[in-house]
Every structure is written in C-alpha cells, then in structure tokens.
Amino acid sequence: MRINPTGELPSPLHPMEANVALNAKDGVVLTKVDEDVFAAHGAQLGGHFLIDRDGIVRWTQIEAQQGVHELTKFPSPTEIVSAARGPGG
C-alpha cells in the first residue's frame, strides 16, 4: 500500500514513509510522548467527533477503524456537516 493523502508528496509512499516525509516537510519534531506512543502502538491515528450542547457524543469517525486500507481516510466537510445536522443529514 502506498499513499499520498493530501497530494503533497512527489509520489505515493508506504504509510510510515509518508508520515516521516510529511512531518519533515511541515517541520514537525516528535516529542518524547510522541516517541513513547509510537514505540507502544506503532502509530497515532486521527479521530473526529461531534458533541452536542449537553456534552453527549453524537458522532464519531476513527481513522483505519476497519483496517489499514482506511489509513488517511477522513470525513469530507460534507460528511461532517451532514453528521452535525443529525439523522437524515
């Protein structure tokens, strides 16, 4: 599997290579906590959630929840707005 999630790479790379390349491009320096998480789990995945005014989580999206084929798959702005509108979008 090779990815170029945002089109910023010159060509698709293995996900872990893409992570290193994008971090370098953005000037990201891993902290001790980042390194500890990586050592324990191999990656930090993204997640999104919507919480209503009463503090109840109403919608979630977790990166790669169904497997590695979903790495770098994130909700579009349309999906987030639809989720915010509630059932039936």
Based on the domain organization, do 25 and 57 belong to the same domain? no
Residue 34 sits in which domain range?
A: 1-44
pLDDT tens for each residue of 30-66: 999 989 988 998 777 889 999 999 999 999 999 988 8
Count the domains in the chain: 2
**33 and 49 co-located in one domain:** no
Asked if residue 49 and residue 20 are part of one domain, the reply reads no
Checking if the pLDDT of 70 tops 90, the result is no
Looking at the fold, whether 10 and 33 belong to one and the same domain comes out as: yes
Q: Are residues 7 and 33 in the same domain?
A: yes
Number of C-alpha atoms within 13 angstroms, CB side, residue 22? 17
Is 65 in the same domain as 85? Answer: yes
Binning pLDDT at 50, 70 and 90, where does residue 10 land? very high
